Amino acid sequence: MNYTLETGLRGCLRHPRTMALVMLTLALGLASVMTMLTLLSVLGADPLPGISHTLHLAWADSRETARSGDSDTYGDGSPVPPLWKLADARAMQQLRPDVRQVALVTAPVTLASLDGSARKQVSAAFALGPMLPVFDVPLRHGRYWTPEEEAARTPVVVISRSLSQRLLGREDGTGAEVRLGKHNFRVIGISERWAPRPRPHFLPASDAGWRGEGDEVFAPAEAALASGIEISSTRICDDAGFGGFRFDQVNVEQCRWLVLWAELADAAQQRSYAQSLQAFAADRHAAGIFPRPPLTRLQSMPQWLHLNRVVPDSVRLNLWLAIGLLVLCLVNVAGLLAARFLRRSGEYGVRRVLGAPRRAIIATCLVESTLAGLLGGLLALPLTLAGLWLMRQQGDAYAPLARLDLPLFALLVLLALLTGVLVGLLPALRAARQEPALQVKTL
């Protein structure tokens, strides 16, 4: 075994230009595949590990009667947001009090200290229901708001630790007050940074959820409305009144602007909730509240992200193109290795005449091809890092996330070794099948 390994290693040093070409060809193919695999793994990662499989987006169609030209998708193919009016969302929550449900919206707001000396525009989440525990927002200090505080529209707020440091001058700002809208809000909790990528809980139109730095303000939605906060976000409004717009304020009665999430632990609970949702829509239609026939949807978070094309089709297409390039590289490497092995057919013939079995010849060739694959993988590492750097220079919102981590590096090494074995197997079998007598005559 040691002789076979030594012979294979010595073979790598012969004809160095051919070996360098083998390694470079493998490195280019591996780097192209690893660059796209890294990007795809980042984009396809679970934004809320451990809880996303229990969260389901509920929707009941409350839109006005369909008119000519209406569609369930926008011009770019993205779905019309499954939004709710405030009264409808509240009614659905009351219908199933045994299920934790959260109706929410995210919007940019300006938060300021009471004296106005410090202010910052941040992304805020306004919710009906226990959003923070349902979405597992990490709390560092204080507490969440209670149902009683939400029902009384008490002006309470949870802010991030960094925002507390900036506005209040300390990490634990619980008990202090900040200015939000026209009212002062009492800080009851301090959260850790919460920025799932992509942002799954509220996806505005034409936004796959990769932009922004996460939500830093969390408050009860009705308390926020009472304070006159200007909520600028995706909405679908009826034609009545002013069409839902008045200096970026929401017409609560005429606009759909909330998404509704339900926490459903198992399939039985999902079926039960889906039936309740359908019955809710049927009752509202029969009462004349929903003009359209009952239409509902209950989607898991992964289904919702897939529907919104969080992973762009271009990324998957580029991965297939990279795989095609790798296959082309492997074909070329197989030809180069076959030429290297057949060039030493006389040497292999002498070893066969001296009693070496065919498996020893195959093992020697595989040692050489495997080492070439490993060296090609090591060379692919800087090429992969360069490819990811180029990805980060693009204008896409998800580009900054394209970074190689340890598991993906281990995958690169494993793929390089496997590629070396596979690409060298056919040339090795061909070299071992040569008749020793014919090989010796060539000497």
HEC string for the chain: CHHHHHHHHHHHHCCHHHHHHHHHHHHHHHHHHHHHHHHHHHHCCCCCCCCHHHEEEEEECCCCCCCCCCCCECCCCCECCCCECHHHHHHHHHHCCCCCEEEEEEEEEEEEECCCCCEEEEEEEEEECCHHHHCCCCEEEECCCCHHHHHCCCCEEEEEHHHHHHHHCCCCCCCCEEEECCEEEEEEEEECCCCCCCCCCCCCCCCCCCCCCCEEEEEEHHHHHHCCCCCCCCCEECCCCCCCEECCEECCCCEECEEEEEECCCHHHHHHHHHHHHHHHHHHHHCCCCCCCCCEEEEEHHHHHHHCCCCCHHHHHHHHHHHHHHHHHHHHHHHHHHHHHHHCHHHHHHHHHCCCCHHHHHHHHHHHHHHHHHHHHHHHHHHHHHHHHHHHCCCCCCHHHCCCCHHHHHHHHHHHHHHHHHHHHHHHHHHHCCCHHHHHHCC
pLDDT of residue 6: 61
pLDDT of residue 262: 96
User: Would strands 156-160 and 183-191 be described as parallel, antiparallel, or unpaired?
Assistant: parallel
Res 131: pLDDT: 94
CA angle in degrees (0–180, nearest 5) for 116-152-119: 15
Query: What is the reported pLDDT for 246?
Result: 45
pTM tops 0.85, yes or no: no
The pLDDT value given to residue 430: 66
Tens-digit pLDDT string for the chain (443 aa):
565 556 655 666 666 777 788 888 888 888 888 888 888 888 877 888 889 999 999 999 998 887 655 555 544 455 667 899 999 999 999 999 999 999 999 888 889 988 888 888 888 999 999 999 999 999 999 999 999 999 999 999 999 999 999 999 899 999 999 998 888 999 999 999 998 888 888 876 555 566 667 899 999 999 998 888 877 777 788 774 444 444 455 677 788 889 999 999 999 999 999 999 999 999 999 999 899 999 999 999 988 888 877 777 788 888 889 889 888 888 888 777 777 766 666 566 656 555 666 677 777 777 777 888 888 888 888 888 888 888 888 767 677 777 777 787 787 778 878 877 777 777 777 666 665 555 555 54
